[in-house]
Structure 1
Amino acid sequence: MRWVAFMPLRANSKSIPDKNIRSIAGRPLFAWSLEQAITSQCFDEIYVATDSPKIRKIVLEEFPSAVKVLDRSAETCTDTASTESAMLEFHQQISFDVVSLIQATSPLTRADDFRMAKHRFVTDNLDSLLTAVSSKRFFWTKSAIPINYDPANRPRRQDFEGCLMENGAFYLTRAKLLRETASRLGGRIGIHEMTAETAIEIDDEVDWIVVEQLLLRQKLKSNRGTSQIKAFILDVDGTLTDGGMYYGSDGEALKKFNTRDAHGLQLLRENGIKVCVMSSEDSPAVAARMKKLNIDDYYPGIKNKFEVLQSKAKLWRMSLLDVAYMGDDLCDLECISRVGAAICPADAVPEIMQRAHYVCTRAAGHGAVREACDLILGKNLGMTITSLKNNS
């Protein structure tokens, strides 16, 4: 059987301008799920269909040999055109037995999802398959009619089986079914259940923010994870401080620090994680702060931070992958690019944010360092997508 993957990408996204090619966690949105499809090795060929020369160019830059790009007609790119119309147009050009429709708006899809879905499709001799997530929410119609439970016998959450919610990550469809019904689903239908965080399809800016943080955490965990971190090295101005310059009545330069950041660094040291602070400036105010915090590994006036990073790792007899680094500006770029866990404040420069494994929700001088410390200690990794969504 010939298996192909198909991702339709159109220009002029309505909800978020240029959504499909906008950078999220350092890569174009479409690249995340396409890369996982490639990694899965489930497909004989992978295609993107688009009406945009700009999208075509970016897709081929990301995947010069692994993905083929086809033209998509204007008729299948209107606001009222169905995705099935794009699938049928694709099938007129490409022969296949089974097609996987992949949605760019579900970047948390993993290679194992494709593998497990394909296995179920083949084993159960399915005609089509959809992806879904488990939901234990109680649903109602707008006419106040319950859909999936009896209010008179309201079940406890732990006793409620709930239901499966279609998440739109990807679909598997036999060519015969698509031709005969012009639908992606029909015949003998199966479901591949995915993890809870994949419930979000990116449709607005709130979705974007939540999913980007999940992708960054995913990158951080895949890069050895925070549980392996043995040392934390960080910058001062724009990281430990808010980057502002303050002056006393006598003209003395002052710095603003956050007490929660200091406590976070103390917690790291109490848990056996080494802490080192370096700065490109030589400030008496910073020196005084380091002395108060009993941080002996403080290096002021450093022009080449990566040299210090290397020397400290060598002295500590650990790999750079055992080190977390936090910085905010271009002078931190080489360090950010070489360590096992790269972290930056919410207001870091764009170049740093693109390279970081994790972008803090807090700004420099306002608890960003404490957030990084908590992440390294593993205090926030269990947060579910439900709580993230409810608090957004």
Structure 2
Amino acid sequence: MKTIAFIPVRGGSKSIPLKNIKLLCGKPLVCWNIEALERCSLVDKIIVATDSEQIEEVVLSKHYHKVTIYHRLAENACDTASTESVMLEYIDRECLSNDTIFMLVQATSPLTETCHFSEALDLYAKGIYDSMLTCVRNYRFFWNDDGTSKNYDYMYRPRRQNFSGELMENGAFYINTVGNILRNGNRLGGKIGIYEMPEYTATEIDELDDWIILENLMRKYVLLRQENLKNKIKLFLSDVDGTLTDGGMYYSENSEELKKFNTRDGMGFQLLREEGIKTGIITSENTKIVENRAKKLKVDYLVQGKYNGGKLEAVKDICDDLGLTWEQVAYIGDDVNCYELLKSVGVAACPADAIIGVKNIPGINVMSKKGGEGCVREFIEMIISQK
């Protein structure tokens, strides 16, 4: 069963011209959701449905791995066209199977992060609900036109901490199956479940004032956390085969083993040194090739010939040597021999082609790039970047 994330972005926005590619905190608006979805291991394909060549050019220039551009029909990209119309158009054109999970994602909610998509899809996979939507809890008091209170008794005004509030649709994303969408002609239908998101995700971008609000919220709740992550991590460790390499085994005519490393990953280690972060390579194998690569990268620690428990012990020794806690360690690995260490460190990541068991480790960051194709550099930039 495949999961498709569908992002409708038209070029004809009146309130904010071409808002879907207008820079929000230095990044095109639509790219915030795309990149969160790229890191979500539960999403197989991302469809950007647009009528705009400019939007298409911007998205394709990023060279995303899961993204496909869909050219929506003009009649379903006008001011009066509903979102459902372009959803149904795409489903019909692509002849999607009824059991395909179809997640409608709104680019106007850029604060949606990978963890939100993953948690909601995990909940949906339990089969409790036919469809789902995202909401935030609103703690405002509402009134009717006739002067009567709607959601509280004004004679017994509750304190906020004692007020359960009301769930408000925030429009971030919706989950359904193709079959349900076709039956109901709607993004929702059947038994509907709610995935509750943080209160700060309530704002959707529609007007310029919303843009100002969202940029401030992005800095506070997303970018500041990334900066805190950068300040927290003091030791960066990487696996080798399938992570720093593509996992392939190469042999010369003299039966000499060869490995292919990525230059950009190497530059990443230099960037970490410049940030004052200690580095290391920890691997189950024991080869001269890795020793030579470690010297080239000038890593502070090289540990070879260690498996699951052995890796844990080795990293504990390094942490004791540096006076660090597990929370201050970042590690990227791809296979079963990395599993225990990935579950123990403060920040864990894996390549896009890691085994399923590793991808399903709670809280792990799944990179958009595969092993040997720059996934380590991607993780490094996630740690040190303030973008």
Normalised by the length of structure 1, the TM-score is 0.57
Q: Counterparts in 2 of 1:254-333, with a 5 A limit?
A: 318-319=276-277
Flag the 1:146–1:213 CA change in 2: closer, same or farther, 3 A. same
Q: Does 1:219 align with 2:223?
A: yes
Name the aligned partner's letter for residue 159 of structure 2: R
Greater shift in the superposed pair: 32-41 or 60-69: 60-69
- For residue 34 of structure 1, give the secondary structure of its aligned residue in structure 2: helix
Whole-Å separation in 2 of the counterparts to 1:209 and 1:37:
24
Note the alpha carbon deviations across 1:92-137, whole angstroms, 9 max, x for none.
1231421000000111101111111111112143211000111111
Deviation of residue 19 (structure 1)? Answer: 0.5
Task: Assess if the C-alpha contact under 8 Å between 2:233 and 2:277 holds in 1.
Answer: no
Task: Assess if the C-alpha contact under 8 Å between 1:130 and 1:192 holds in 2.
Answer: yes
Q: Pick one of 131, 149, 153 that aligns with 2:152.
A: 149
Equivalences, count: 246
Task: Assess if the C-alpha contact under 8 Å between 2:6 and 2:103 holds in 1.
Answer: yes
Whole-Å separation in 1 of the counterparts to 2:20 and 2:228:
29
User: Please, which runs of 5 or more residues in structure 2 have no aligned partner?
Assistant: 235-269, 279-380
- For residue 40 of structure 1, give the secondary structure of its aligned residue in structure 2: coil
Task: Assess if the C-alpha contact under 8 Å between 1:49 and 1:70 holds in 2.
Answer: yes
Deviation of residue 219 (structure 1)? Answer: 2.3
Whole-Å separation in 1 of the counterparts to 2:125 and 2:208:
38
Whole-Å separation in 1 of the counterparts to 2:186 and 2:225:
38
Deviation of residue 159 (structure 1)? Answer: 1.2
Could you tell me which residue of structure 1 aligns to residue 21 of structure 2?
A: 21
Q: Does 1:108 align with 2:111?
A: yes
Deviation of residue 150 (structure 1)? Answer: 2.3
Whole-Å separation in 2 of the counterparts to 1:226 and 1:112:
19
Could you tell me which residue of structure 1 aligns to residue 163 of structure 2?
A: 160
Task: Assess if the C-alpha contact under 8 Å between 2:138 and 2:166 holds in 1.
Answer: yes
Whole-Å separation in 1 of the counterparts to 2:19 and 2:148:
36
Could you tell me which residue of structure 2 aligns to residue 239 of structure 1?
A: none
Deviation of residue 168 (structure 1)? Answer: 0.4
Name the aligned partner's letter for residue 222 of structure 1: Q
Name the aligned partner's letter for residue 223 of structure 2: K
User: Please, which runs of 5 or more residues in structure 1 have no aligned partner?
Assistant: 231-309, 321-337, 343-355, 358-392
Note the alpha carbon deviations across 1:239-259, whole angstroms, 9 max, x for none.
xxxxxxxxxxxxxxxxxxxxx
Deviation of residue 59 (structure 1)? Answer: 1.1
Task: Assess if the C-alpha contact under 8 Å between 2:109 and 2:201 holds in 1.
Answer: yes
Could you tell me which residue of structure 1 aligns to residue 85 of structure 2?
A: 85
Name the aligned partner's letter for residue 52 of structure 2: S
Could you tell me which residue of structure 1 aligns to residue 54 of structure 2?
A: 54
Could you tell me which residue of structure 1 aligns to residue 189 of structure 2?
A: 186
Name the aligned partner's letter for residue 23 of structure 2: S
Q: Counterparts in 2 of 1:301-380, with a 5 A limit?
A: 318-319=276-277, 357=387
Flag the 1:138–1:180 CA change in 2: closer, same or farther, 3 A. same
Note the alpha carbon deviations across 1:322-347, whole angstroms, 9 max, x for none.
xxxxxxxxxxxxxxxx9x888xxxxx
Q: Counterparts in 2 of 1:222-233, with a 5 A limit?
A: 222-225=226-229
Whole-Å separation in 1 of the counterparts to 2:228 and 2:157:
44
Deviation of residue 318 (structure 1)? Answer: 4.1
Flag the 1:163–1:57 CA change in 2: closer, same or farther, 3 A. same
Note the alpha carbon deviations across 1:263-297, whole angstroms, 9 max, x for none.
xxxxxxxxxxxxxxxxxxxxxxxxxxxxxxxxxxx
Greater shift in the superposed pair: 194-203 or 120-129: 120-129
Note the alpha carbon deviations across 1:18-57, whole angstroms, 9 max, x for none.
1001011111000001111111112221101111111111
Task: Assess if the C-alpha contact under 8 Å between 1:220 and 1:341 holds in 2.
Answer: no
Task: Assess if the C-alpha contact under 8 Å between 1:11 and 1:52 holds in 2.
Answer: yes
- For residue 111 of structure 2, give the secondary structure of its aligned residue in structure 1: coil
Could you tell me which residue of structure 2 aligns to residue 203 of structure 1?
A: 206
Deviation of residue 212 (structure 1)? Answer: 1.3
Looking at CA atoms only, which structure, 1 or 2, has the larger radius of gyration? 1
Flag the 1:184–1:206 CA change in 2: closer, same or farther, 3 A. same
Whole-Å separation in 2 of the counterparts to 1:226 and 1:66:
27
Deviation of residue 79 (structure 1)? Answer: 1.3
Normalised by the length of structure 2, the TM-score is 0.58
Deviation of residue 229 (structure 1)? Answer: 11
Whole-Å separation in 1 of the counterparts to 2:202 and 2:187:
20
Flag the 1:82–1:143 CA change in 2: closer, same or farther, 3 A. farther
Flag the 1:27–1:176 CA change in 2: closer, same or farther, 3 A. same
Flag the 1:318–1:62 CA change in 2: closer, same or farther, 3 A. closer
Whole-Å separation in 2 of the counterparts to 1:125 and 1:79:
36
Task: Assess if the C-alpha contact under 8 Å between 2:101 and 2:177 holds in 1.
Answer: yes
Identity of aligned residues (%): 42
Whole-Å separation in 2 of the counterparts to 1:39 and 1:341:
17
- For residue 223 of structure 1, give the secondary structure of its aligned residue in structure 2: helix
Q: Does 1:41 align with 2:41?
A: yes
Flag the 1:75–1:196 CA change in 2: closer, same or farther, 3 A. same
- For residue 200 of structure 1, give the secondary structure of its aligned residue in structure 2: coil
Whole-Å separation in 1 of the counterparts to 2:146 and 2:61:
50
- For residue 117 of structure 1, give the secondary structure of its aligned residue in structure 2: helix
Name the aligned partner's letter for residue 13 of structure 2: S
Deviation of residue 228 (structure 1)? Answer: 5.1
CA RMSD of aligned residues (A): 2.9
Whole-Å separation in 1 of the counterparts to 2:70 and 2:118:
25
Deviation of residue 224 (structure 1)? Answer: 4.0
